[in-house]
Amino acid sequence: MAQLTVLEPEGMYPDTDLEQEVFGPGVDFLHGGAPHTGTLDALPDAVCAKVDGLQIFRHWLTPKDIARFPKLRVVVRMGVGYDRLDRAACAARGITVCNVPDYGTQEVADHAISLALGLRRGLFLHHEMQRSDPPAPWRYVDSPLIRRAEVQGFGIVGLGRIGMAVALRAKAFGFKVRFYDPHLPNGVDRALGITRARTLEELMRGADVLSIHAPDTRETRGMIGARELAWLPEGAVVVNTARGTSLDIDALEAGLRSGHIAGAGLDVIPVEPPVDPVPGLVAAYRAKEPWLLGRVVITPHSAFHTPEAWLDIRRKSAETMRDVLLLGLSTNVILPDEG
């Protein structure tokens, strides 16, 4: 087999030792040349001309970019979501697209549960009240946020790897766990000891806590808007650690302002990073408007972040590229019409 070249343009890691170990001597692994703060335009034509495999993390891969890689056969998105890749352009060239769906499962599940518990136990609420000026009295605060876990329905939208990990964690804390995922076969509920909702409405109406774990697809974009949020019980909590496109953030703000929704924890928003004009909820949160103090927590798409997860991204991306480019396997392949 002729020598192959794989490129990771951001230079995310200090060396290429791990990748060379995974690929073996038949692959020349290059890294760097296009920092994540810019675009792939920074890459020299001579480098692009010899690339057989491309590993993408923060960059967008457009048709113009793809045209610069005449030998390109495989693209691995170094993460779960693949909306940064123009898959139609890749398909037109016969380029295989893959992702890495299992690098941060524990971290994102822990983050979702932490947001839910932090809101439902009043941790964020009491934290904000005790550092206000003047500080609140040295006593608990009565709030619709605070409830015992075992009396609450915990609804999960999307029971993939992360959704399943969240279900097991929520179950351990005593929540009554239900899920909605029309793509899963019968019996998953019995295997996990949780309850299946046959429709999104059925799930929402019993979800005192709603945790979203749906990918960004045509089917899921905008799936939870004002109508769906109104199905939630009074005083519900909404958590989203998946993709911001599935949840109407303006409808969420309206539900919070009306009091129908007691609290929300977001690790994702529709456009990241936020650009002007930022969503009203984000603006109010940053301004520390009194009506949402302790009721809303926003983290900057950081749910996946641990040193261990970064190492997983590195190894699993290289292993996926090896499997598909060198061995001809279908590891983590995303079909052109998927999503």
339 has pLDDT over 80: no
Where does residue 328 fall: left (phi above 0), alpha (psi -120 to 50 degrees), or beta otherwise?
A: left
Q: Are 252 and 220 in contact (CB under 8 A)?
A: no
Q: Active-site residue 301, yes or no?
A: yes
- The pLDDT of 137-153, averaged and rounded, is 97
Would you call 243 a catalytic residue per the annotation?
yes
Task: State the pLDDT confidence band at 216, using cuts at 50, 70 and 90.
Answer: confident
Distance CA(267)–CA(212), nearest Å, equals 11
> For 321-335, what is each residue's pLDDT tens digit?
999 999 999 999 998
Name, in order, each residue with C-beta under 8 angstroms of 258's C-beta and a sequence gap of 6 or more: none
Q: Are 241 and 212 in contact, with CB atoms under 8 Å apart?
A: yes
Bigger pLDDT: 2 vs 177 = 177
Report the share of the chain in percent with pLDDT over 70.
Answer: 99
Whole-number Å distance between alpha carbons of 58 and 39: 9
Q: What pLDDT digit, counting tens, does each position of 266-318 carry?
A: 999 999 999 999 999 999 999 999 999 999 999 999 999 999 999 999 999 99
Per-residue pLDDT reduced to its tens digit, 37-58:
889 999 999 999 999 999 999 9
Cα separation, 335 vs 247, in Å, equals: 25
* CA angle, residues 240, 241, 245, in degrees to nearest 5: 65
Distance separating alpha carbons of residues 209 and 53, to the nearest angstrom: 42
Place of tokens 């045209």: 67
Q: Which of 120, 243, 295, 322 is catalytic?
A: 243
Average pLDDT, the chain: 95
- Residue 190: the pLDDT is 95
Band the pLDDT of 76: cuts 50, 70, 90.
very high
The CA distance from 233 to 293, in Å, is: 21
How does DSSP assign 6-63, residue by residue?
A: EEETT--SS-SHHHHHHH-TTEEEEE-SS-TTS-GGGS-HHHHTT-SEEEESSS-B-H
**Whole-number pLDDT of residue 180:** 98
Reduced to 3 states (helix: H, G, I; strand: E, B; else coil), residue 321 is: helix
What 8-state DSSP symbol labels residue 323?
I
Q: Tell me, what's the pLDDT at 333? A: 96
Active site residue 272: yes
Determine the pLDDT at residue 299. Answer: 98
Rounded to 5 degrees, φ, ψ at 178 are -135, 160
Q: What is the pLDDT of residues 82-94, one digit of tens each?
A: 888 999 999 999 9
Residue 337 has pLDDT above 90, yes or no: no
The length of the chain in residues reads 339
Average pLDDT over residues 110-132: 97
Give the integer Cα–Cα distance in Å for 49 and 70.
Answer: 6
Is the pLDDT reported for residue 80 higher than 90?
A: no
Per-residue pLDDT at 1 exceeds 80: no
Q: Which residue has the higher pLDDT, 163 or 82?
A: 163
Of these residues, 201, 219, 234, 272, which one is catalytic? 272
Give the whole-angstrom CA distance, residue 47 versus residue 338: 30
pLDDT of 245: 94
Question: Binning pLDDT at 50, 70 and 90, where does residue 215 land?
Answer: confident
Question: For residue 130, what pLDDT is reported?
Answer: 96
Radius of gyration of the chain (CA): 22
Q: Of 126, 301, 305, 315, which is the active-site residue?
A: 301
Nearest to 93 by CA among 85, 101, 105, 81: 85
CA–CA dist 160, 336 (Å, integer)? 20
Distance CA 179, CA 93 (A): 38
Q: For residue 45, what are its two tokens?
A: 């034509």
